[in-house]
Amino acid sequence: MSGGVAVGLFAGLIPGPLQMIGAALLAVMFRVNLPVAAVTTLYTNPFTIVPLYALAYELGVFVTGHVNGQSPVNLSLPEMTWVNWPAVMLDWIVSLGKPLAAGLPLLALSFAIAGYFGVRMLWRAMVIWEWRKRASRRR
């Protein structure tokens, strides 16, 4: 379960509509829970993708110290239609440059590590709670 969450959190930041495919491939490769990995990618959606990419960009600026030598980048999405959205998204992502290229994998890895250990700790806490509950019923 924890491996599936980690894979899903990592694959959720893959650009474009390839998140579930990436999660499925990684889940098979690492032999973790495939349905959990696929469902966990749903944390990225039209409402969360811009703040997550902005966070990845800022993380990339912090790590690389590189701001493309330009004025601050407009992180809001440009006007899109159902027909032109792939090209517009690709142009927007490319315009963010090296900071985004460094920040996305770092943010994805951070989410995966936090998700993995968070689920492990939650699972352990639930098991201990059930043991104690069972022990108190026996007394």
Summarize pLDDT for 8-43 with one digit per residue, the tens. Answer: 999 999 887 889 999 999 999 999 999 999 999 999
Q: Is 52 or 92 the better-scoring residue by pLDDT?
A: 52
Mean pLDDT over the full length of the chain: 87
Instruction: Give kind and range of the element (H or E) at residue 78.
Output: none
Q: Rounded to the nearest 10 degrees, how much is the dihedral formed by the CA atoms of 2, 47, 73, 95?
A: 70
Residue 83 has a pLDDT of 78
pLDDT tens digits for range 109-118: 999 999 999 9
pTM: 0.76
- Sequence-distant (≥ 6) Cβ neighbours of residue 85 within 8 angstroms: none
Q: Under a CB-based contact definition with an 8 Å cutoff, are residues 16 and 130 in contact?
A: no
Taking the C-alpha atoms of residue 91 and residue 127, their distance in angstroms, rounded to an integer, is 48
- Residue 66, pLDDT > 80, answer no
Task: Say which residue the tokens 């749903």 belong to.
Answer: 42
Residue carrying the six token digits 């993995």: 116
Let me know how many helices (H) and strands (E) the chain has, helices first: 5, 0
